Structure 1
Amino acid sequence: MCVIAFHWRPEGPLPLLVAGNRDEFYARPTAPMAWWEGRRILAGRDLQAGGTWLGVGPGGRFAALTNHRDPSKTRPDRATRGLLPVWFLEVGHTAGAFLEELRPVAGRYNPFNLLVYDGRDLLGFESRQDRVVSFTPGIHAISNGDFDEPWPKVERLKAGLLDGEGDDEALLTLLQEAEPFPDERLPSTGVALEWERALSPAFIRTPTYGTRASTLLRLGREAVSVLEQRFSPEGPEGRSEFRFQRT
């Protein structure tokens, strides 16, 4: 994922609502969200390096990943970050225990942010700072910086999530906002200004790179619903919906 907004209500009937976009090169092969054969994981799949960017596992476990944008700290020989959500979804550890196990080996991966939910606790992890993040009830978001860092699209999604959280189509429209923000509001992440502009909205469109999927997840106490809307360079490509009981 490259931007994720989420409403955390640990005591409510819907503890976690997630809305996010995955941005990637169009040429990178990807499998749509589906149940993985022989494994209790519902997720999309990166067919080039393996792994996923967002998925749901047994008991309502959930994990999502964003990359941290800093070209100076990225090396091509490191392990693929997409295996981290799979690792969490398949183990029985609590969110806290999993992050304690991950922290000593996080340097094997290029910088990342990881959001994990074990069915009770929701935690974030910023690898470059070795920082575990706990969340107060309410709306939070993450892009390619820190959790709740006030990038323009992060702030826009947080506001829009509150207004449209009961309406899937309204949330998808929010995730498809593609107008770049003014230069004076852009973060400085080590890429050229042209790329900062192109990457500034929630929905990204360039000739070779852009938003490949929008995902809505409602993780209730008893049931889970997931909607994935996929995109090609030409526009909407397909949609998948899943509803199932937490077990």
Structure 2
Amino acid sequence: MCLILFSYNDHPAYKLVLAANRDEFYGRPTKNAGWWDDQPNLLGGKDLKEQGSWLAITRDGKFAAITNYRDPKHIKADAPTRGKLVTDFLLNDHTPEDYLKNLQESGSLYNGFNLIFGHQNEIFYYTNATNFYDKLAPGTYGLSNALLDTPWPKVVKGKNKFNNLLKANHDFPVEHAIKDLRDNHLAPDQELPDTGIGIEKERQLSSMFIEMSGYGTRCTTVITIDKQNEVRFKEVSYIPENDFSTSFKIS
């Protein structure tokens, strides 16, 4: 994922509301969201190149989502795939606290990443960019390719739109959130971060929804978990095109 907006225990009807865009090369083979054939308790999209995921949830309410941390000066060509960090947490009997210990010990092996993980009652954030973790307090958060809540233009705009939907609607409007995440307006140059990739790429990557030659937003996903532990999951894939939605009760 390259933009994740989420509200944790900060809405009268929901424990969690999460809306996210996945940005990736168009040619990277991907299986659209669904229950995995080989792991029937796991729901999410699948990276067919490395067999990991960028965002997934289990029938018992564990979930994880990852973004890359943009740091072109410290790219390791032989680093393991970051998508396995999502599935390793979800498919093994780790508590979030146990997994944090694993991340702190092995996080330096990977290229830069941010990981949001936990379950509907407890959410953690970890980044190997600074080997930092935090057990998140109730609130609304935004994450792109820098540290959590770094005020990049897309994060600021995304959180504003997201908060407006949370405040105006008791029943979170999933379709409206997906529409908001299709915002492809570029940020003004004076608001762009400097991450070492040059002004033109900073400009192209500044929108919430990215459209570049060979690279861009591949899908939008919205997950809600209400106070009765009912999960709604909807994903709209753009390349390849597909709409998927389901709901289930946390077991």
TM-score bracket, shorter-length normalisation: over 0.9
1:217 and 2:223 matched:
yes
CA distance in 2, matches of 1:100, 1:12: 33
- In structure 1, give the amino acid aligned to 2:147: D
1:136 offset after TM fit, Å?
A: 2.4
Alignment size in residue pairs: 244
Query: Secondary structure at 1:59's aligned position in 2?
Result: coil
1:91 offset after TM fit, Å?
A: 2.1
More moved, 38-47 vs 78-87? 38-47
1:72 offset after TM fit, Å?
A: 0.8
CA distance in 1, matches of 2:38, 2:45: 15
- In structure 2, give the amino acid aligned to 1:154: V
CA distance in 1, matches of 2:220, 2:246: 14
- In structure 1, give the amino acid aligned to 2:218: R
1:201 and 2:237 matched:
no
Match of 1:90 in 2: 91
Which of 191, 197, 211 does residue 191 from structure 1 map onto? 197
- In structure 2, give the amino acid aligned to 1:242: T
Match of 1:155 in 2: 156
1:162 offset after TM fit, Å?
A: 1.4
Match of 2:169 in 1: none
CA distance in 2, matches of 1:231, 1:58: 26
Match of 2:107 in 1: 106
Contact 1:142 1:154 in 2 (8 A): yes
Match of 2:15 in 1: 15
CA distance in 1, matches of 2:164, 2:217: 23
1:244 and 2:251 matched:
no
CA distance in 1, matches of 2:58, 2:229: 14
- In structure 1, give the amino acid aligned to 2:145: N
Match of 2:175 in 1: 169
More moved, 128-137 vs 195-204? 128-137
1:13 offset after TM fit, Å?
A: 4.5
1:137 and 2:138 matched:
yes
1:105 offset after TM fit, Å?
A: 0.6
Contact 2:59 2:248 in 1 (8 A): no
More moved, 139-148 vs 167-176? 167-176
1:93 offset after TM fit, Å?
A: 2.4
| Structure 1 segments of 4+ aligned residues over 6 angstroms from their partners | none
Task: Give the TM-score of the pair, scaled to structure 2.
Answer: 0.93
1:10 offset after TM fit, Å?
A: 6.8
Query: Secondary structure at 1:15's aligned position in 2?
Result: strand
CA distance in 1, matches of 2:241, 2:27: 15
What RMSD in Å do the two structures reach over aligned CA positions?
1.5
Match of 2:74 in 1: 73
Contact 1:7 1:16 in 2 (8 A): yes
CA distance in 1, matches of 2:18, 2:43: 15
CA distance in 1, matches of 2:208, 2:10: 26
Contact 1:186 1:196 in 2 (8 A): yes
Contact 1:10 1:120 in 2 (8 A): no
1:9 offset after TM fit, Å?
A: 0.6
Distance 1:90 1:32, change over 3 A: same
More moved, 102-111 vs 18-27? 102-111
1:65-87 CA-to-partner distances (Å, cap 9, x unmatched) read 00001111111211000000101
In structure 1, the gaps of 5 or more residues are none
1:12 offset after TM fit, Å?
A: 5.2
Query: Secondary structure at 1:160's aligned position in 2?
Result: helix
Query: Secondary structure at 2:89's aligned position in 1?
Result: helix
- In structure 2, give the amino acid aligned to 1:224: V
1:228 and 2:235 matched:
yes
